[in-house]
Amino acid sequence: MPYAAFGGPIPSENLTTAAYVGSFRDRAAKRTPQRYTYSHTFPVLNFNTTQQLFFGGNFWDGRATGLKLQAPDAEQAQGPPVDPLEMGFADTACIAFRLLSAPYRQLFELVWGVDFDIRFPANTAEICAIPNGARRFGGSATPIALSPTDRTKATNIYDHWGQSLSFLERSVNEGLPINPRLTLYYESTPDRFGFTPNPDGKRYRDLGIGTFLRSGPGTFPNPNQPDWLSLAPTVDGQQQVMTARDVALTPTQCPTTEAGQVDANGKAIPYFQKGFFHNGYIKSLKQLVHFYNTRDSVPNPNGNTTYAFKVTSGNCPAGTVERDTCWPQPEVLQNIDMTTGALGLTDTEENQIVAFLQTLTDGFDPANPTVSTYKNIDTFTGQCSIAPPGVTAKNQGNETLTPTWNLAQFPCADDICVNVPFPPPPFSIP
């Protein structure tokens, strides 16, 4: 939703599971919804040989490369319809089939000049009503029996449909720990359709771009093998970094993202719960800045204060507070950005950065900073949160922490970590 900076609009989901369910309510995705504000400006995915980094593409792992449609935004739009954890169509041809009866079909034909004269089999509606991955399809990605000519027509419509969404959107890595609240880790058994969203269960590891370059589970095939495949170990764990624009935008009913704020009369201000980063582990802007500042350690007058502990989320040592004085170990140990993590900022300086981030909001008025003129700002899903005594932006969300399982008992699955090329050690977390 726009008022949530184009992120997830349900505070209770942001606080707990972080990832959202799709059209099939028993399945949830593996990452938080990505904020796609102005994403049509992203370039086609490319590897910059000077900086030795990937730029462009869409989705957290860059898998919507834009190489086919020359617009990552358009290819991103094509992902959710056939993602079994989102809309769940079993076949891309379901889009053309549904467009046959869409009220805007004539406008679509006027713009694109496409041919809807497709001979769909009698069971098309049944197939399109069954969530992707159903056992009866035998793993086929094209279960609708179309002739080669009709398949080409349906694919052409699907491509133009993605481009239409891209044009619509043009109008008016960091060493995070495993987030055990993501329901994907527990979706390891077949559902009533015989589909298993995550066969790896607790052995799943999110390598981000590295998984995509290996054509691993839950992503797209790498379109540029073998060149990019050899680069996979250099980007394991990396995810796209989103713009900070509108990062603090909230509905008017919940005027802040930060727990523990009070008004001039000392009354608690309702806050809108968000989930930051790709797995939703961070729950406030204060925690986000504090993470960049103290992920490793920071100097203070008494020496070095350690914030990094060799533990997993929910298992910080006694006397520490997770997300405040304790950061659990990263999910992926290699390729961590070492330019942050020990910045040495004071608490006041962190708060000043948070205040600055809150100004990067469409409709921000310096004379009235708590009011935004952004359109649809009053649309709201869920409930505002009120911080109970002792809860501040520093420890926000800790009341729902779930201890991570013993990673030694659930090492990284072979289909993720043993695909060639092998990730360099160290990889698995003891």
What are the distances in angstroms from CA 344 to CA 130, 170, 175, 287?
Answer: 53, 40, 18, 15
pLDDT of residue 427: 42
How confident is the model over 62-87, as pLDDT tens digits?
Answer: 777 777 776 777 777 777 888 877 77
How confident is the model over 320-373, as pLDDT tens digits?
Answer: 999 999 999 998 888 787 778 888 889 999 999 999 888 777 765 556 655 556
| Minimum mean pLDDT range among 107-116, 251-260, 292-301, 310-319 | 292-301
Among 279, 240, 236, 278, which residue's Cα sits nearest to residue 419?
Answer: 236
Among 170, 235, 211, which residue's Cα sits nearest to residue 31?
Answer: 211
Interatomic CA distance for residues 272 and 396, integer angstroms? 11
Q: Are 277 and 330 in contact (CB under 8 A)?
A: no
Q: Are 331 and 176 in contact (CB under 8 A)?
A: yes
Residue 109 CB partners (closer than 8 Å, separation 6+): 116
Residue 40 CB partners (closer than 8 Å, separation 6+): 71, 73, 166, 167, 169, 170
Average pLDDT of the segment spanning 3-7: 74
Interatomic CA distance for residues 199 and 190, integer angstroms? 9
pLDDT, greater one: 291 or 420:
291
Average pLDDT of the segment spanning 125-137: 80
Residue 105 CB partners (closer than 8 Å, separation 6+): 99, 116
Could you say which architecture CATH assigns to the domain 8-235? Answer: Orthogonal Bundle (1.10)
| Per-residue three-class SS string for 386-404 | CCCCCCCCCCCCHHHCCCC
Q: Which residue's entry shows tokens 């309702």? A: 270
Per the DSSP assignment, residues forming a β-bridge with 308 are: 327
Interatomic CA distance for residues 289 and 294, integer angstroms? 9
pLDDT of residue 36: 60
Q: Please tell me whether the peptide bond between 369 and the residue prior to it is cis, using omega within 30 degrees of 0.
A: no
pLDDT of residue 202: 94
Sign of the alpha-carbon torsion through 241, 35, 38, 154:
positive
Q: Which residue's entry shows tokens 């729902």? A: 400
Q: Which residue's entry shows tokens 């109970």? A: 388
pTM for the model stands at 0.68
Sign of the alpha-carbon torsion through 99, 102, 104, 110:
positive
Interatomic CA distance for residues 284 and 281, integer angstroms? 10
